[in-house]
Amino acid sequence: MIRQLVGEVGAFLRASLLDPVERTRAETPALRLRRRIVVGLTLVAGAIALGLALAVRPGDPAFYPATLGVAAVWVLGALASGPLHLGRGRSRRGTPSRGILQGFLLGLALLAVFLLGALVVAQVPLLRAPVESLLDHARCGSLGIVALVTVANGVAEELFFRGAAYASLPPRANGWGSALLYAASTLFSGVLLLTFAALCLGLLTAAQRRVTGGVAGPITAHLTWSLSMLFLLPPVLSIGA
C-alpha cells in the first residue's frame, strides 16, 4: 500500500514538474529581443509600483487601486512582450491535460509547507511583525475586496513572470531566472519573508511552466496558494503565538 502510494506520488511529480510535454514552438531572435526590452522596462515599473502599494497604510482605500495598478503593469508588460500560451500538460497516466488539477494540488502542497513554517514564524517577533503588517490590509479593509485583488495580482504575475519573463530568458536559465526576477520584484516591499515566498512560489510555477509550456497550471497553483494563505495564515499565526 505504501509502495503504491509512493509510486503514485512519484508519477505525479514527474508529470507535473519534471517531464516536459513535447512541443515545437519557437521564437525568432527579433521577438526574443522585443520580449527582453519590454520585460526589463516592466520589471522596473512593477517593482516600484509594488513598493508604493505596500507602503499604503492599512485601512486606506488607496490600497485597492494601488495594488490593481501593480497588476495592470504586469498584464500590460506581458501582453506587449509577445504571444502568451495556456500550455498543455500530461497526467501521471499520460492523458492530455492543461495542468490545472496539477497546479491546484501543487499549490496545496506548497500551502502546507508555508503554514507549518508560519507556526515557527509566529514564535519569532522579528519575523512575525512584517508579516502581520501585510495582513493588516485584510484586517483593516474588506476581506472580499482583498481576495479579488489577490486573484487579479496572482493572474497578472503569472502572465508576466511565467509568460513574458520566462520566454525572454535563455532556455538554460528561464526557470530559476524567472523565479529570481519575481523574487527581486518584491525587494522594495522591505519584507524579506515576502521575497522568500516569491522565490519558492516562483521556482514551483517555473517548473510547471517548463513542463506545460504555458501559464494555465502556474496560475492555478499561484491562486490556490495565495488565496489560501490570505484566509488561513492569520489563524495559524494566532495558534502559534
pLDDT at 141 over 80: no
Rounded distance, CA 65 to CA 219, Å?
Answer: 22
Rounded distance, CA 212 to CA 208, Å?
Answer: 6
Q: Does residue 55 or residue 176 have the better pLDDT?
A: 176
Q: Tell me, what's the pLDDT at 240?
A: 62
Q: Which of 221, 212, 206 is nearest to 89 (CA)?
A: 212
Q: What is the pLDDT of residues 71-116, one digit of tens each?
A: 999 999 999 999 999 998 888 877 888 889 999 999 999 999 999 9
* Beta strand segments in the chain, E: 89-90, 96-97
Q: Are 141 and 59 in contact (CB under 8 A)?
A: yes
Q: Tell me, what's the pLDDT at 24?
A: 65
Q: Are 15 and 90 in contact (CB under 8 A)?
A: yes
